[in-house]
Amino acid sequence: MSTQPEAPDFTSLLRPVVRESSVSEVAKRLLDHLSEGNLKPGTRLPAERQLADALGVARSSVRGALSALDVLGIIEIRPGSGSYVREGTSEFLPRAINWGLMLGQRRTQDLVEVRTFMEGMSARLAADRAGEEDIERLEQHLERMREAGTDVKAFIEADIAFHLETAHIARNTVLSDILHSIRALLQVWMERAGNIEGTVSGTLCEHRAVLDAIRAGDPEAADAAMAEHMRLASDRLRLSLRGDDEQDTAASGA
């Protein structure tokens, strides 16, 4: 029977994280060690509790950092088993470092600002270029969001699909690629914001307004509706980030 390689004395190499907002710092610290190339693909990382103890942070911070690395394809989280180094990690890591993918609050907010501008442009172009089949696909994504209900993961997937479809309808490949990258960076935080009360109902209404403006062929209204959606989504994101800070501060005894 084959066995997975264990991480070689991984936790002894880690130093405590001292910043209050530690999800980003934990992710960077783990990424530093993964990028050294000492861990073979398939290596199982230490348990969350071990990593939290070694770094001096709450387990929620470790969990958030591992989730970010999982989204980026650097590790794989297997429920009930643990976290494992993915195949091909050595080729991906330089790109991850150059992009600065491990986001703290400041960088997250900077990305939100860029996304707000580009999503508005995407909606404006879509309103000018959408055909009947395009509108139908947007309706399908909105219906998937509605059917997801309290399933946050399914709701976020349908939400992202709606925005990707809007970018596709805009018929601008550069804009579409940039928005796709930004959403990938923000996905972990978007999932957290999805748990805030009122997110599902609010997001559905905001997307409906965008869709109605695109259907009406009104670029100005589509831009305005998307800007309002981005403003409210940004507020929800800030609430989720603030919750992380408060949880880490309480866990550290501060």
- What DSSP letter does each residue of 187-213 carry, written as one string? HHHHHHHTTSTTHHHHHHHHHHHHHHH
Supply the pLDDT for residue 105. Answer: 58
The predicted model gives 141-165 an average pLDDT of 90
Q: How confident is the model at residue 216 (pLDDT cuts 50, 70, 90)?
A: very high
Q: How confident is the model at residue 101 (pLDDT cuts 50, 70, 90)?
A: very low
The residue count for the chain: 254
Supply the pLDDT for residue 44. Answer: 92
Structure-token pair, residue 209: 């307004």
Q: How confident is the model at residue 6 (pLDDT cuts 50, 70, 90)?
A: low
- Asked if 179 and 167 touch (Cβ cutoff 8 Å), the reply is yes
The SS3 of residue 13 is: helix
Supply the pLDDT for residue 250. Answer: 45
pLDDT tens, residue by residue, 72-99: 677 899 988 999 988 665 555 555 544 4
- Asked if 249 and 227 touch (Cβ cutoff 8 Å), the reply is no
Supply the pLDDT for residue 120. Answer: 95
The predicted model gives 99-116 an average pLDDT of 66
